[in-house]
Amino acid sequence: MDDLAARLDAALNGVYHVERELGGGTASRLFLAVERALERRVVIKVLSPDAASDVSAARFKREISLTAHLQHPHILPVLSAGAQRDLLYYVMPYLEGESLRHRLEREGRLPIDDAVTILRDVADALAVAHAAGVVHRDVKPGNILLQGDSAVLMDFGVARALEEARGGRRLTDPGTAVGTPGYMSPEQAVGEAQVDARSDVYALALVGYEMLAGAPPFSGLTLRAMVAAHLAQIPKPLRDVRPEVPGVLADAIARGLAKDPADRFQTAAAFRDALPAAAGAPPRGRRSGLRALAAGLAALTGWHRRR
């Protein structure tokens, strides 16, 4: 166990026991742990000390607590959060499955019905969050978890929490980037102080384009060139890349990728409703067994918080 894992294990004060590291990047690391009281596995995401050094712990916990109240079958809930000096972390349920990023790396482009189902699930999650005043700000394949025929969106509001905890400094200020450049809306990329639901719609449309085309509309570019592309370059039409994509689906994604937020769908719900139904999809309003399980998980989260 390295120094960060050992410090985390000590900070958890016996409530959780860290088993092993799952991975992560330069800004955060993921650990698999066991909640001792309930004997269940959880995932703990820890901000790297460098990323957390200029973050107010109190404000981070306050902002995370706002997102912890989001309950929806396609939202991975936050169970708890903590802070000790420059050690900031939050706890999520452990779900079996893989991320959309891993599936894309393995398969390239996805079957059209699978892509539509994932888009609809994530748009559903975003619609609920936006109604509660929470903008995700980092929608990308790595934050979408796949379980059977369902998708779950994770890291809700974390980018917002970090921005607020840094005293409102924008995420695109030097050294404070939390969003992922390849999936930032034009307004987020240039550092606008306030981004809204339409920024998440743009990011989700990018994910949809990548699932169907097998690659993002802008790839293989330097950071500066990528930002410039999102600001000014029109993606190659999706049906030129993959002719069998239904016109209504290609049109919905093209509108979601509009440079001007006013030209996009104004809500995630509107984007969802513009998507075609996947073949064999259950009627709207009927939950699959997995969604019922996710609803039960949300209820358990509420019980855990009250306890």
Which one of 121, 124, 138, 155 is the catalytic residue? Answer: 138
Concerning whether 196 is annotated as a catalytic residue, the answer is no
**Amino acid identity at 222:** T
Beta carbons within 8 Å of 15's beta carbon, 6+ residues apart: 35, 36, 37
User: What is the distance between the alpha carbons of residues 239 and 256, in angstroms, rounded to a whole number?
Assistant: 15
C-alpha count within 13 angstroms, C-beta hemisphere, residue 227? 11
Closest CA to 128 of 62, 192, 174, 197: 197
User: What is the distance between the alpha carbons of residues 214 and 235, in angstroms, rounded to a whole number?
Assistant: 14
Tokens representing 122?
Answer: 């994530």
Query: For tokens 């820890």, what's the residue?
Result: 46
Beta carbons within 8 Å of 145's beta carbon, 6+ residues apart: 76, 95, 97, 98, 99, 100, 151, 152, 153, 154
Measured in degrees and rounded to the nearest 5, phi and psi for residue 57 equal -60, -40
The residues pairing with 47 across neighbouring beta strands, listed in sequence order, are 28
| Contact yes or no for 303/71 (Cβ under 8 A) | no
Active site residues: 138
